[in-house]
Amino acid sequence: MSVKIIGEIGINHNGDLDITKKLIDVASIAGCNYVKFQKRNPDICVPEAQKSKLKLTPWGEITYLEYKYKTEFGKAEYDEIDNYCKEKNIKWFASVWDKDSVDFMSHYGNITKIPSALITDNELTRYARDKFDNLIISTGMSTEEEIKKCIINCNPDVIMHTNSTYPAPNNELNLNYITWLKEKYPNKDIGYSGHEFGLTTTVASTLLGATWIERHITLDRSMWGSDQMASVEPQGLIKLVKSIRDIEKARGGYGPRVVMGGELQKLKSLRK
């Protein structure tokens, strides 16, 4: 099975469609299978105590609720994103943070994701399961018991291991949990959503059995935004996808050793 690679734009577009299209271009050129966004209804998702708090942003000092709306796309923007992704021959979807967003995104495709922060919301995960043919969950910040309950509740198609620290330290990535998930849920696709610096550990996750890979992407890690520093820049994304595809070619098949085509010439010249 070829690894599915997701370039997560998330909210790194900062509410700007031009930035969004450039990120879609990068993901398409790199060879990603998908780009992913995050969809929220801020009135529902932002806690009441947080809504009126002031925040310094590129739009000045505004309330936290106003800031969340600045980075939230609506139907007009997603219609344009949908058309642009079709032009660039790349698929797209979004993580959903509330039931309104489930309904909204269900008009655009048959795949969605429940973010780590919400896999304990049984009502939301079940609602998303009923609306989409393909459901992904992420396991960051969750105990084994919470993950088990989520899987029982919504029967996801893909379970993604992740560490939700931004950026995540390498000594806390626990990549061997991918092997655990594969053994425990042999009928599920197991993935890895990386938030660490660098690419090596993400590439290594495919050797442990991850068949879905997700990394946040950005045009420049120095851009404004909470997720930018844990994201992969264009050159890095190209390297990441190429490395994963090279490993797929290099793995070969399981079983007794076979003398390969290039070796046959050496066999004739070096062995009596």
CATH, residue 240: 3.20.20.70
**pLDDT digit string, tens, across residues 177-187:** 999 999 999 99
pLDDT at 122: 98
Q: How many domains does the chain have?
A: 1
Q: Which domain holds residue 80?
A: 4-270
**pLDDT digit string, tens, across residues 32-67:** 999 999 999 999 999 999 999 999 999 999 999 999
Q: Any idea of the CA torsion for 232, 238, 242, 245, to the nearest 10 degrees? A: 70
Task: Name which residue leads in pLDDT, 253 or 232.
Answer: 232
What's the rounded Cα separation, in Å, for the pair 125 and 151? 9
pLDDT at 164: 96
Q: Is the pTM of this model over 0.75?
A: yes
Contact 136, 191 (CB under 8 A): yes
Task: Name which residue leads in pLDDT, 113 or 268.
Answer: 113
Percent composition of the chain: helix, strand, coil (DSSP 3-state, to 5): 45, 20, 35
**pLDDT digit string, tens, across residues 171-216:** 999 999 999 999 999 999 999 999 999 999 999 999 999 999 999 9
Contact 232, 23 (CB under 8 A): no
pLDDT at 247: 96
pLDDT at 272 over 90: no
DSSP secondary structure letters along 229-267:
GGSB-HHHHHHHHHHHHHHHHHH--SSS----HHHHHHH
Indicate the pLDDT class of residue 253, thresholds 50, 70 and 90: confident
Q: What whole-number percentage of the chain has pLDDT above 90?
A: 94
